[in-house]
Amino acid sequence: MKIVVLDGYTENPGDLSWGELEKLGQVTVYDRTSLTDEEEAIARIGDAQVVITNKTPITKRVIDACPSIRYIAMLATGYNVVDYAYAKEKGIPLSNVPSYGTAAVGQFAIAMLLEICHHVAHHSDTVHAGKWENCQDWCYWDYPLIELDGKTMGIIGFGRIGQQTGKIAKAMGMDIIAYDSFQNDAGRAIARYVDLDTLFAQSDVIALHCPLFPDTQGIINRESIARMKDGVIILNNSRGPLVVEQDLADALDSGKVYAAGLDVVSTEPIKGDNPLLKAKNCIITPHISWAPKESRQRIMDCTVENVKAYLAGAPIHVVNR
């Protein structure tokens, strides 16, 4: 069994092992494969029966050019880089990793919020640069410091990750409200479910944890921002296109939105003309919420189990049945 990993570096830059996967067949791992040159993907897949990808597209043309493909596995939850409908038509199951980073992504959302509230890294840098040593007062702060106790966090998308973020925020004394099409008792133990207009009107902090669907694309836009409190904080470590970026940049520059913490943008890697790069009070990190070693090990473990199950004739976590 030939197995090819097209873009393994972000999953395993050297601190994990491919050993368990290598027990299942002849494995070739490429750190990176072009996201735009289909010929490179075709050449690297060759006559492999199992293809493992993260962000490298597996298009109809790639599938047609590689007739040996029998199974595709994602090193991720999202699978839109694969033409999954065509793969189904060709009898090729596609499996993903349904859950691996709940704790890490929730933790990261709160990390961005705390950085906005306290600017810890900035103040540490100023101390190391000598500002405290030369200060005429015994302390100083360069930004307003914000206490979260008693404030309201509104979470759009209240599945596993949204609930994890809510648990942490609630432990800090925040009141949690949530909007989700699918309400459950686990969510009710953490938050009050409300409609979207209520969430926009009442939240001091809005955290996005919803999938990217046609009805959620651009959910943060000029009109929805106008319905929010003045000085609201917006967090997004879900999907970049949930935000209309120019509208958010304008709101940050006007002060309507006090600050934003973003781990995702509409085009990744970010383009130099993204308006958020020059917006006021905007923290942007390079899509790393998912990336603690513990989370990546879960991806590795689940991917191995996915391939094992396929080889045993009973594929699991199939998203294109």
Structure tokens at 87: 């793969």
Taking CA atoms, 154 is separated from 98, 104, 209, 247, 299, in Å, by 25, 19, 10, 20, 29
Contact, 250 vs 225, CB < 8 A? no
What residues contact 231, with CB distance under 8 A and at least 6 apart? Answer: 204, 255, 256, 257, 258
* Catalytic residue from among 119, 123, 239, 296: 239
Q: Is 239 tagged catalytic?
A: yes
Q: Is 39 tagged catalytic?
A: no
Q: Is 268 tagged catalytic?
A: yes
What amino acid is encoded at 298 in this protein? R
* Catalytic residue from among 39, 89, 268, 294: 268
Distance CA 30, CA 9 (A): 8
Which of 214, 195, 211 lies closest to 203, judged by CA? Answer: 195
Q: In this structure, what DSSP letter does residue 50 have?
A: E
β-bridge partners, 73: 52, 95
* Catalytic residue from among 32, 61, 118, 287: 287
The values of phi and psi at residue 199, to 5°, are -60, -45
Give the active site residues: 239, 268, 287
